[in-house]
């Protein structure tokens, strides 16, 4: 079964799962189960919540890599670096678009899983 989900390099992600389709599909399920809550914690970032934001975006970065969401991983890495540097203005300039992008990935994964459930 071919997995074609916009925004994901599924071949690269399958390599990370040693080619095990069942493991990869389980990873996709975990991604759509956990990422929405992580994104909710990243909304409305302030000076006071910057540290927790940075931790949250680090988690999104790591899990995005595992599912093959390279663009999300790269942007999360940049946002994490901004968080560590205390660049709240930089984060605020990009955060809403990032959250919207990742929400689109989650929707695409969910749609693919619903169509391909056994």
**47, two tokens:** 């000076």
From CA 75, how far away is CA 88, in angstroms rounded? 15
pLDDT more than 90, % of the chain: 90
pLDDT per residue over 29-77, tens digit each?
999 999 999 999 899 999 999 999 999 999 999 999 999 999 999 999 9
Give the chain's radius of gyration (CA, Å). 15
What residue has token string 């929400």?
103
Contact by Cβ (8 Å): 84, 54: yes
Q: Supply the pTM of this predicted model.
A: 0.92
Q: Is the pLDDT of residue 1 over 80?
A: no
Q: Which domains does the chain have, with CATH numbers?
A: 10-116 (1.20.120)
pLDDT per residue over 26-39, tens digit each?
999 999 999 999 99
C-alpha 75: how far from chain center: 10
> pLDDT value at position 118?
58
């Amino acid at each position: 079964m071919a997995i074609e989900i916009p925004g994901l390099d599924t071949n690269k992600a399958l390599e990370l799962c040693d080619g095990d389709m069942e493991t990869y599909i389980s990873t996709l399920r975990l991604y759509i189960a956990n990422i929405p809550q992580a994104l909710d914690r990243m909304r409305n970032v302030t000076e006071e919540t910057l540290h927790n934001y940075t931790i949250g975006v680090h988690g999104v970065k790591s899990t995005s890599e595992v599912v093959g969401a390279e663009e999300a991983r790269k942007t999360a890495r940049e946002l994490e670096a901004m968080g560590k540097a205390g660049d709240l203005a930089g984060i605020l300039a990009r955060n809403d678009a990032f959250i919207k992008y990742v929400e689109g990935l989650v929707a695409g994964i969910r749609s693919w899983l619903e169509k391909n459930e056994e």
